[in-house]
A and B are shown apart, each in its own frame.
Chain A
């Protein structure tokens, strides 16, 4: 991390935390329209499998640019997808927030996410490490990269009717 005073660091962590909690709240509330607005035009949202990091050239669970993100949200919202009509309910916690670097307007953050889904009276628990690249803009932070690495991402999963 570049030289920052202790006060600056604490203030940044507080700002980032507030932003991530707002995002988590949007996702649990399935307020996807607001979530789409958090992104930069070139932002990429990825759920990879395994440890590989050559996301473009490997198979991921999802690799969403702006167009795919909008299509995904559109699919959720239209109500024709039987797996998301209704979707599973989710409650998530994001915590253990670590700011890895903050240079100019680019902030890299590592976060733990615990999510519990409920559908058919059955609850499932998922844990993920989230890797964010945030851009600081006049309108606050924007999502530029979000990589959600599920534990057991290359093992047997279930289908997901929500976002991590």
Chain B
């Protein structure tokens, strides 16, 4: 190894593809974390927003691309822009309001003003910069921005492939199926739970397609469900589902194949647990077909899909991770509803979300606990590998990549393969 090569250059030791073993340093090494921010989060498409979060012209939200704080905004023509939240003069943030509506962004320090597209519009007392000061060279640092199914992604990488190519055909197909939980209405973000967990971001990256943990970590949640619902989660025993590598680090965990496409269930009778809800919606004058569609949407689809590197579609919500440091990651769980749909349907969605998700949910705190336990556990036995080899024994070829048992760690292997590919490429 030459002196100028970083110590993580032995990528095969960090992730052993053949044996699906992850080295402990992967969760612990601050130098490696810095490299990941450069080689992955500065290079690939990173999810920043859902379009419903800033639906109107002039509305914006703050987000992150890796460690970079960004503003995602819709200009007066409706075009979406994403730019780094940093004044080009002396670096102050130009916006500290999490979400809102504005005509421009003005730096609070010396008053440099930027348009919704990030262009520098006004500099107070510009004379001292001389005649050759070029405003067009001093706009907010822009990122490339593209959307699919209302999901907005941004990248610093001008050479990145188009978003839909990065996602691939299967991810795109599943995204469209996922959005059917709008029940005939546009999907709308109703709110988000946010919590910080002392863990490396990859611990979270592994979790969304991890069915193996569900009956163990979420036993206390399942105990609070009625029998019909509990049966829905009996996917481990039923052995009908699967996990598939969808390429580019993405993966899907199909827990309830009968709920892959909600429209396939339109002829089913209404589930007993939602009969009361159907009755409420009927009272509002919706047709029986709409009632069925809306009630199905409230129940949500039957799969989790994990996108590399920072967002997942988890049954009825979006889960977003933001790396903060090698052992700290922020998590957002975004509740989804039907924009313009019946109030009672959205209320039901909100209560279901609160039941499982967030700092006081019956599920998330237990997830957060085990994620932190992973980080704490890696303090010992540093030479021991972390195993993500479950289910390699009977994997078969799927549409895009290997497909394994519902509890297989196929999705984690997909993510680590992509991790490795990106870490090899020039930063």
A interface residue numbers (CB < 8 A to B):
47, 49, 56-63, 68, 71-72, 74-75, 78, 80-84, 120, 154-161
Given A159-B359, A160-B359, residue A71 in contact with residue B224 (CB < 8 A): yes
Say if the beta carbon of B192 comes within 8 Å of chain A: yes
Nearest-Cβ distance from residue B173 to partner chain A, whole angstroms: 29
* Contact status A68-B355, CB under 8 Å: yes
Nearest-Cβ distance from residue B162 to partner chain A, whole angstroms: 33
Contact of B359 among A56, A57, A61, A82 (CB under 8 A): A61
Query: Binary interface profile of B, 331-350, with partner A (CB < 8 Å = 1, else 0)?
Result: 00001000000010011001
Query: Which residue of the partner chain A has the closest CB to B191?
Result: A59
Nearest-Cβ distance from residue A62 to partner chain B, whole angstroms: 4
Question: Which of the 9-residue segments B6-14, B295-303, B361-369 touches chain A?
Answer: B361-369
Question: Which of the 9-residue segments B27-35, B85-93, B193-201, B252-260 touches chain A?
Answer: B193-201
* Contact status B196-A156, CB under 8 Å: yes
Give 13 A-B contacts (CB < 8 Å), ordered by A residue: A58-B191, A59-B350, A60-B350, A60-B354, A63-B354, A68-B355, A75-B221, A82-B366, A83-B365, A83-B366, A155-B194, A157-B195, A159-B365
Given A80-B220, A156-B330, residue A63 in contact with residue B365 (CB < 8 A): no
Nearest-Cβ distance from residue A54 to partner chain B, whole angstroms: 11
Of B224, B330, B347, most A-chain CB atoms within 10 Å: B224
* Contact status A59-B192, CB under 8 Å: yes
Query: Which residue of the partner chain B has the closest CB to A55?
Result: B350
Query: Binary interface profile of B, 194-221, with partner A (CB < 8 Å = 1, else 0)?
Result: 1111000000000000000000010111
Given A59-B353, A61-B193, A71-B224, residue A82 in contact with residue B369 (CB < 8 A): yes
Kindly state the separation between the CA atoms of A56 and B372 in the bound complex, as whole angstroms.
Answer: 32
* Contact status B195-A159, CB under 8 Å: yes
Nearest-Cβ distance from residue B350 to partner chain A, whole angstroms: 5
* Contact status A61-B360, CB under 8 Å: yes
* Contact status A160-B354, CB under 8 Å: no
> Chain B: interface secondary structure?
helix
Kindly state the separation between the CA atoms of A58 and B365 in the bound complex, as whole angstroms.
Answer: 21
* Contact status A80-B365, CB under 8 Å: no
- Residues of A close to B350: CB separation below 8 A: 57-60, 63
* Contact status B365-A161, CB under 8 Å: yes
Say if the beta carbon of B370 comes within 8 Å of chain A: yes
Say if the beta carbon of B190 comes within 8 Å of chain A: yes
* Contact status B351-A82, CB under 8 Å: no
Kindly state the separation between the CA atoms of A74 and B222 in the bound complex, as whole angstroms.
Answer: 12
- Residues of A close to B19: CB separation below 8 A: none
Contact of A74 among B224, B351, B369 (CB under 8 A): B224
Query: Which residue of the partner chain B has the closest CB to A50?
Result: B191
Query: Which residue of the partner chain B has the closest CB to A65?
Result: B351
- Residues of A close to B360: CB separation below 8 A: 47, 61-62, 159-160
- Residues of A close to B193: CB separation below 8 A: 49, 59, 61
Nearest-Cβ distance from residue B235 to partner chain A, whole angstroms: 19
Contact of A81 among B194, B220, B330 (CB under 8 A): B220
Kindly state the separation between the CA atoms of A116 and B427 in the bound complex, as whole angstroms.
Answer: 44
Of A155, A157, A159, most B-chain CB atoms within 10 Å: A159
- Residues of B close to A158: CB separation below 8 A: 195-197, 359, 368
- Residues of B close to A59: CB separation below 8 A: 190-193, 335, 350, 353-354
Nearest-Cβ distance from residue B207 to partner chain A, whole angstroms: 14
Query: Which residue of the partner chain A has the closest CB to B350?
Result: A59
- Residues of B close to A71: CB separation below 8 A: 224, 362
Query: Which residue of the partner chain A has the closest CB to B195?
Result: A157
Kindly state the separation between the CA atoms of A68 and B224 in the bound complex, as whole angstroms.
Answer: 9
- Residues of B close to A62: CB separation below 8 A: 354, 360
Given A57-B347, A78-B223, residue A83 in contact with residue B196 (CB < 8 A): no
* Contact status B376-A120, CB under 8 Å: yes
